[in-house]
Chains A and B, each alone.
Chain A
Protein backbone atom coordinates (compact mmCIF):
# COMPACT_ATOMS: atom_id res chain seq x y z
CA UNK A 1 0.00 0.00 0.00
CA UNK A 2 1.12 3.49 -0.73
CA UNK A 3 1.83 5.71 2.24
CA UNK A 4 3.16 9.20 2.24
CA UNK A 5 3.98 11.02 5.47
CA UNK A 6 4.69 14.64 6.19
CA UNK A 7 5.68 14.73 9.83
CA UNK A 8 5.87 18.52 10.22
CA UNK A 9 2.41 20.09 10.20
CA UNK A 10 3.84 23.61 10.13
CA UNK A 11 7.04 25.51 9.38
CA UNK A 12 7.96 29.17 9.81
CA UNK A 13 10.82 30.65 7.80
CA UNK A 14 12.17 34.16 7.50
CA UNK A 15 11.80 35.85 4.14
CA UNK A 16 14.89 35.37 1.99
CA UNK A 17 16.03 32.22 3.78
CA UNK A 18 15.69 28.63 2.62
CA UNK A 19 12.52 26.64 3.30
CA UNK A 20 12.88 22.87 3.49
CA UNK A 21 9.80 20.69 3.50
CA UNK A 22 10.13 16.98 4.08
CA UNK A 23 8.23 13.87 3.08
CA UNK A 24 8.70 10.15 3.68
CA UNK A 25 7.20 7.34 1.64
CA UNK A 26 6.87 3.58 1.95
CA UNK A 27 6.14 2.36 -1.57
CA UNK A 28 9.12 0.77 -3.29
CA UNK A 29 7.61 0.64 -6.75
CA UNK A 30 8.70 2.85 -9.59
CA UNK A 31 6.97 6.16 -8.93
CA UNK A 32 6.80 9.79 -9.58
CA UNK A 33 6.64 12.11 -6.62
CA UNK A 34 4.89 15.42 -6.84
CA UNK A 35 4.56 18.54 -4.75
CA UNK A 36 1.36 20.57 -4.69
CA UNK A 37 0.78 23.99 -3.20
CA UNK A 38 -2.52 25.13 -1.75
CA UNK A 39 -3.73 28.58 -0.81
CA UNK A 40 -6.80 29.05 1.42
CA UNK A 41 -10.15 28.69 -0.39
CA UNK A 42 -8.45 27.42 -3.53
CA UNK A 43 -7.74 24.01 -4.99
CA UNK A 44 -4.20 22.61 -4.85
CA UNK A 45 -1.97 23.41 -7.79
CA UNK A 46 0.94 21.39 -9.13
CA UNK A 47 4.37 22.73 -8.21
CA UNK A 48 7.12 20.31 -9.18
CA UNK A 49 7.70 16.59 -9.67
CA UNK A 50 10.55 14.11 -9.65
CA UNK A 51 10.91 10.66 -11.15
CA UNK A 52 12.13 7.93 -8.83
CA UNK A 53 15.03 7.31 -11.23
CA UNK A 54 16.38 10.79 -10.49
CA UNK A 55 17.95 12.35 -7.40
CA UNK A 56 17.13 15.98 -8.05
CA UNK A 57 14.84 18.20 -10.07
CA UNK A 58 15.06 21.95 -10.17
CA UNK A 59 12.64 24.61 -11.36
CA UNK A 60 13.60 28.17 -10.57
CA UNK A 61 13.51 28.70 -6.80
CA UNK A 62 12.17 25.20 -6.21
CA UNK A 63 14.30 22.06 -5.99
CA UNK A 64 13.15 18.60 -5.01
CA UNK A 65 15.63 16.02 -3.75
CA UNK A 66 14.98 12.30 -3.63
CA UNK A 67 16.88 9.95 -1.33
CA UNK A 68 15.78 6.49 -2.42
CA UNK A 69 17.73 4.57 0.19
CA UNK A 70 16.02 6.54 2.96
CA UNK A 71 12.68 6.75 1.09
CA UNK A 72 12.71 10.45 1.71
CA UNK A 73 12.15 13.48 -0.42
CA UNK A 74 12.45 17.15 0.33
CA UNK A 75 11.39 20.39 -1.30
CA UNK A 76 13.76 23.33 -1.05
CA UNK A 77 12.56 26.86 -1.71
CA UNK A 78 15.25 29.48 -1.94
CA UNK A 79 14.98 32.34 -1.42
CA UNK A 80 11.64 32.14 0.37
CA UNK A 81 9.11 34.83 -0.50
CA UNK A 82 5.87 35.96 1.18
CA UNK A 83 3.82 34.43 -1.65
CA UNK A 84 5.24 31.04 -0.73
CA UNK A 85 3.10 30.99 2.42
CA UNK A 86 0.72 28.10 1.75
CA UNK A 87 0.10 24.46 2.56
CA UNK A 88 2.39 22.07 0.70
CA UNK A 89 1.44 18.49 -0.03
CA UNK A 90 3.79 15.83 -1.25
CA UNK A 91 2.20 13.08 -3.30
CA UNK A 92 3.13 9.67 -4.62
CA UNK A 93 1.91 8.11 -7.85
CA UNK A 94 1.79 4.45 -8.62
CA UNK A 95 1.32 2.33 -11.69
CA UNK A 96 -2.32 2.01 -10.64
CA UNK A 97 -2.72 5.63 -11.71
CA UNK A 98 -3.62 6.98 -8.32
CA UNK A 99 -2.06 9.91 -6.53
CA UNK A 100 -1.83 9.57 -2.76
CA UNK A 101 -1.17 12.73 -0.76
CA UNK A 102 0.55 13.40 2.52
CA UNK A 103 -1.14 15.36 5.29
CA UNK A 104 0.48 18.63 4.31
CA UNK A 105 2.85 21.18 5.83
CA UNK A 106 1.74 24.76 6.40
CA UNK A 107 4.60 27.08 5.46
CA UNK A 108 4.59 30.61 6.83
CA UNK A 109 7.12 33.15 5.56
CA UNK A 110 7.71 35.89 8.10
CA UNK A 111 9.22 39.32 7.32
Chain B
Protein backbone atom coordinates (compact mmCIF):
# COMPACT_ATOMS: atom_id res chain seq x y z
CA UNK B 1 0.00 0.00 0.00
CA UNK B 2 1.14 3.51 -0.74
CA UNK B 3 2.06 5.54 2.31
CA UNK B 4 3.84 8.53 3.72
CA UNK B 5 6.49 8.04 6.38
CA UNK B 6 8.38 10.42 8.61
CA UNK B 7 11.63 9.90 10.46
CA UNK B 8 12.68 10.17 13.14
CA UNK B 9 9.43 9.94 15.08
CA UNK B 10 11.09 11.48 18.13
CA UNK B 11 14.17 13.67 18.30
CA UNK B 12 15.87 15.57 21.11
CA UNK B 13 18.54 18.04 20.14
CA UNK B 14 20.40 21.03 21.50
CA UNK B 15 20.05 24.67 20.62
CA UNK B 16 22.17 25.61 17.62
CA UNK B 17 22.37 22.13 16.13
CA UNK B 18 21.27 21.37 12.59
CA UNK B 19 18.39 18.93 12.39
CA UNK B 20 16.80 17.26 9.38
CA UNK B 21 13.40 15.59 9.44
CA UNK B 22 12.77 13.16 6.62
CA UNK B 23 9.51 12.68 4.72
CA UNK B 24 8.98 9.99 2.11
CA UNK B 25 5.79 9.23 0.17
CA UNK B 26 5.09 6.42 -2.25
CA UNK B 27 1.93 7.81 -3.85
CA UNK B 28 3.86 9.70 -6.52
CA UNK B 29 2.08 12.89 -5.43
CA UNK B 30 3.37 16.15 -6.83
CA UNK B 31 2.39 18.28 -3.83
CA UNK B 32 4.16 17.92 -0.49
CA UNK B 33 3.82 20.03 2.64
CA UNK B 34 5.38 20.50 6.05
CA UNK B 35 3.27 21.68 8.99
CA UNK B 36 3.98 22.19 12.65
CA UNK B 37 1.39 21.68 15.36
CA UNK B 38 1.45 23.74 18.53
CA UNK B 39 -1.11 24.14 21.25
CA UNK B 40 -3.39 27.06 20.47
CA UNK B 41 -2.10 27.40 16.93
CA UNK B 42 -3.26 24.24 15.27
CA UNK B 43 -1.45 23.27 12.09
CA UNK B 44 0.73 25.96 10.55
CA UNK B 45 2.29 25.66 7.13
CA UNK B 46 6.10 25.83 7.06
CA UNK B 47 7.08 25.04 3.48
CA UNK B 48 5.50 23.33 0.51
CA UNK B 49 6.45 21.99 -2.90
CA UNK B 50 4.44 21.44 -6.06
CA UNK B 51 7.05 19.29 -7.77
CA UNK B 52 10.71 18.48 -8.19
CA UNK B 53 12.96 21.49 -7.63
CA UNK B 54 9.96 23.62 -6.57
CA UNK B 55 9.82 24.98 -3.00
CA UNK B 56 7.71 27.71 -1.44
CA UNK B 57 7.55 29.41 1.94
CA UNK B 58 4.55 29.01 4.17
CA UNK B 59 3.39 31.19 7.03
CA UNK B 60 6.11 30.14 9.51
CA UNK B 61 9.13 29.45 7.32
CA UNK B 62 11.82 31.39 9.22
CA UNK B 63 14.56 29.05 10.45
CA UNK B 64 13.50 26.20 8.16
CA UNK B 65 14.46 25.08 4.68
CA UNK B 66 13.40 22.31 2.31
CA UNK B 67 14.68 20.83 -0.91
CA UNK B 68 12.91 18.64 -3.49
CA UNK B 69 15.32 16.58 -5.54
CA UNK B 70 12.80 13.84 -6.39
CA UNK B 71 9.06 13.25 -6.24
CA UNK B 72 9.12 11.02 -3.17
CA UNK B 73 11.06 13.08 -0.61
CA UNK B 74 10.81 16.49 1.02
CA UNK B 75 13.28 16.76 3.90
CA UNK B 76 12.84 19.63 6.35
CA UNK B 77 16.03 21.18 7.76
CA UNK B 78 16.39 23.36 10.82
CA UNK B 79 19.70 25.09 10.18
CA UNK B 80 20.24 26.14 13.80
CA UNK B 81 17.63 24.70 16.11
CA UNK B 82 15.96 27.03 18.60
CA UNK B 83 13.77 26.22 21.61
CA UNK B 84 10.86 27.91 19.80
CA UNK B 85 11.06 25.13 17.24
CA UNK B 86 10.09 22.50 19.79
CA UNK B 87 6.94 21.13 18.21
CA UNK B 88 5.32 18.23 16.43
CA UNK B 89 6.01 18.28 12.72
CA UNK B 90 3.73 16.74 10.12
CA UNK B 91 4.53 16.03 6.52
CA UNK B 92 1.70 15.67 4.03
CA UNK B 93 1.19 15.02 0.34
CA UNK B 94 -1.61 15.40 -2.15
CA UNK B 95 -2.46 14.86 -5.79
CA UNK B 96 -2.33 17.74 -8.22
CA UNK B 97 -5.35 20.00 -8.11
CA UNK B 98 -5.66 20.53 -4.39
CA UNK B 99 -7.67 23.67 -5.11
CA UNK B 100 -10.42 21.36 -6.31
CA UNK B 101 -10.90 19.85 -2.90
CA UNK B 102 -8.12 17.30 -3.00
CA UNK B 103 -7.30 15.95 0.42
CA UNK B 104 -3.98 15.85 2.19
CA UNK B 105 -2.47 12.58 3.36
CA UNK B 106 -0.44 13.03 6.53
CA UNK B 107 2.43 11.18 8.06
CA UNK B 108 2.33 10.18 11.72
CA UNK B 109 4.39 13.15 12.84
CA UNK B 110 7.86 13.84 14.22
CA UNK B 111 8.11 15.18 17.76
CA UNK B 112 11.13 17.48 18.07
CA UNK B 113 12.43 18.80 21.38
CA UNK B 114 15.10 21.49 21.37
CA UNK B 115 16.87 21.87 24.72
| Interface residues of A, Cβ cutoff 8 Å to B | 6, 9, 31-32, 34, 36, 41-46, 49, 51, 89, 93-104
Contact = CB atoms under 8 A, between A and B. Distances in A.
A102 B103 CA distance: 16
A43 B103 contact: no
Q: Is the interface of A mostly helix, strand, loop or mixed?
A: loop
B98 interface: yes
B107 A43 contact: yes
B106 A44 contact: yes
A93 to B, nearest CB: 5
A6 B50 CA distance: 28
Nearest to B92: A43
Contacts, number: 67
Contacts of A97: 31, 50, 97-99
A43 B36 CA distance: 11
B72 to A, nearest CB: 17
Contacts of B90: 43-44
B40 A103 contact: yes
Contacts of A100: 45, 59
Interface residues of B, number: 29
Given A32-B99, A34-B101, A100-B45, 19 more contacts: A42-B108, A43-B90, A43-B108, A44-B104, A45-B106, A89-B42, A93-B102, A96-B99, A97-B97, A97-B98, A98-B45, A98-B48, A98-B58, A99-B94, A99-B98, A100-B59, A101-B35, A101-B44, A102-B42
B43 A43 contact: no
Which A-B residue pairs are the 6 nearest by beta carbons? A43-B106, A32-B101, A103-B42, A46-B103, A101-B43, A104-B42
Contacts of A9: 40
